[in-house]
A and B are shown apart, each in its own frame.
Chain A
Amino acid sequence: MLRLPAFDFQPARSVDHAVALLAAHGNNALPVAGGTDLYANMKLGLFAPQLVIGLRSIAELRTIRFDPQHGLRIGALCSLDAVARDPAVALHYPALARAAAMVGTPEIRNMGTIGGNLCLETRCNYYNQSAEWRKALGYCLKRDGDLCRVAVHSATCKAVNASDTAPVMQAYDARITLVGPLGERNLAVRDFYQNDGARANVKRADEILTEIVLPLQASGMRSTYRKLRLRNAFDFPLVGVAVTLATDAQGACTQARVVLGAVTSAPFEVEAAGSLLRGSHLGEEIAAGAAEEVFKAGKPLENANASLLYRKRMLRVIAQRALEDVSHPLR
């Protein structure tokens, strides 16, 4: 039977309390929100903190507020289900509602939080395995070993950022707030992530993510999220594609972002696709061209439950479908 390793548990009463507990216990403590990813990883022997600090009890981080002047503020402890069902999210940030609704299963969305999904541990076929399995292989660069099993000459871990909401947040140009013992800092989502599977975001061990702010979107903005997975009922993305696109009154594209998930260790913006779209009138030809740019730029590795060639080919298809989502009403 898979049991959790021994640890002490303390629910935090407030953000300040959580930060104080983290500061007092240093690297021996881990914060937990929904636990759907962390507890599974702990059962596999990937983490063994002495103290687990429960964040669920912090009620102040469970609100979603939309303000027509400034945009949307989401408390990091809002469940993925609450985000997916929120009327303001669905109306103003439909790609976020879609992505949140595609995470895991109904049970996982009831438990899992938006902050937890943004801090999701990177994933790899050589990492998300039992302690015995990893030991038999001699471990890997991400944990306990010195060799990346996916790219043997790589100096950095190639585990992928498999969050569904992270590429969407980046496509909306969202910002996040981290709170630690030195105070608060505010970062663009694109600066929060870094392309190193062993250290996939810049959150320090003594900080917690408290809030996500999505700026007001330009009028005429359309957005979507598409993901490829082996089982549509429930799976991590093999590739994910988030698109945001704004047009002027004549239908010319004024803003465009195409951000990929689950391809590299950070959400990956395909600049060439965005610049092709900007200034154009999105139609089949432009969409095909942008999807081609996604196909060229996206370089998945052999680290998920499908071959890299399949994932690479499907990048074009998924990007094409995402572009159809945002272009259809414009035709």
Chain B
Amino acid sequence: MSISPSKMLATLRVNGRDVTLAFSPNATLLEVLREELRLTGTKHGCELGQCGACTVILDGTPVLSCLTLAADAIDRPVETVEGLASDGSLHPVQRAFLELGAAQCGYCTPGFLNAAVHLLENNTEPSEEEIREALAGHLCRCTGYTKIVEAVSLAGRRMRASADE
């Protein structure tokens, strides 16, 4: 039996907004986010699940959008780096990355931010070991990781302090 794949019309829930659009069944979530929705904050890296640059939050967990079909993300909330800042102010993790120089060329940064925010939402007091484990799937060729780990730790302390207020 031959099947001719045609585009489907579907609704994705991205950063809290429902968007209805057409895409092919073989389109990855990464391709749809960048090419259809123009949310280019999510980066194309290795495209094979080895670098973490394309990490987004799907159903509340970090996943690789290069290995997720957009068709498999229908009706499941997707959070991208564009959704982190609110009302014009950066997320504490973004602010810490900025202040400590945890982003250099910036290509890996959106993936790191999503993984770090997910970690801190579940544990604002992670040990260095826990931070490194949560970020194990992310490659950075610039920073040497030290600044990134420090930034996540700093953001956790600030999130904890503001939760205590």
Could you give, for residues 7-31 of chain B, a 1 whenever the CB lies within 8 Å of some chain A CB and a 0 otherwise? 0000000000000000011111001
Q: Please tell me which one of the listed residues B25, B50, B137 contacts residue A106 in the complex, with CB atoms under 8 A apart.
A: B137
Q: How large is the interface on A (under 10, 10 to 19, 20 to 34, 35 or more residues)?
A: 35 or more
Q: Of all chain A residues, which has the CB nearest B71?
A: A9
Q: Of all chain A residues, which has the CB nearest B61?
A: A110
Are the C-beta atoms of A50 and B2 separated by less than 8 Å?
A: yes
Are the C-beta atoms of A35 and B69 separated by less than 8 Å?
A: yes
Q: Please tell me which one of the listed residues A4, A108, A233 contacts residue B64 in the complex, with CB atoms under 8 A apart.
A: A108
In the complex, chain A residues whose CB is within 8 Å of the CB of B55: 107
The 5 A-B pairs at the shortest CB distance, nearest first, are namely A105-B137, A9-B25, A2-B47, A233-B136, A4-B26
Task: Tell me how many residue pairs across A and B have CB atoms closer than 8 Å.
Answer: 98
Instruction: Indicate whether A180 reaches chain B with its CB closer than 8 angstroms.
Output: no
Residues on B close to A: CB < 8 A?
Answer: 1-5, 24-28, 31, 44, 47-50, 52, 55, 61-64, 67-69, 71-72, 115, 132-134, 136-138
**Given that A35-B69, A43-B47, A107-B137 are known contacts, is A7 also in contact with B5, CB under 8 Å in the complex?**
yes
**Given that A36-B49, A107-B115 are known contacts, is A9 also in contact with B1, CB under 8 Å in the complex?**
no
Are the C-beta atoms of B72 and A56 separated by less than 8 Å?
A: yes
Tell me, in angstroms, the Cα distance from A104 to B64 when the chains sit together. 12
- Which parts of A19-56 form the interface with B (CB within 8 Å)? 24-26, 28, 35-36, 39-40, 43-44, 50-52, 54, 56
Q: How far is the CB of B156 from the nearest CB of chain A, in Å? A: 17
Instruction: Indicate whether A249 reaches chain B with its CB closer than 8 angstroms.
Output: no
Are the C-beta atoms of A1 and B47 separated by less than 8 Å?
A: yes
**Given that A36-B49, A51-B3 are known contacts, is A106 also in contact with B62, CB under 8 Å in the complex?**
yes
Are the C-beta atoms of B64 and A36 separated by less than 8 Å?
A: yes
10 more A-B contacts (CB under 8 A) besides A6-B24, A36-B49, A39-B28?
A4-B27, A7-B5, A7-B25, A8-B4, A28-B3, A40-B67, A56-B72, A107-B115, A108-B64, A111-B63
Tell me, in angstroms, the Cα distance from A30 to B68 when the chains sit together. 16
In the complex, chain B residues whose CB is within 8 Å of the CB of A2: 47-48
Q: How far is the CB of A14 from the nearest CB of chain B, in Å? A: 17
In the complex, chain A residues whose CB is within 8 Å of the CB of B5: 6-8
In the complex, chain B residues whose CB is within 8 Å of the CB of A54: 69, 71-72
Q: Of all chain B residues, which has the CB nearest A25?
A: B1
Q: Please tell me which one of the listed residues A3, A9, A50, A110 contacts residue B69 in the complex, with CB atoms under 8 A apart.
A: A9
Instruction: Indicate whether A5 reaches chain B with its CB closer than 8 angstroms.
Output: yes
In the complex, chain B residues whose CB is within 8 Å of the CB of A36: 49, 64, 67
Tell me, in angstroms, the Cα distance from A323 to B64 when the chains sit together. 36
Q: Of all chain A residues, which has the CB nearest B1?
A: A25
- Which parts of A46-73 form the interface with B (CB within 8 Å)? 50-52, 54, 56
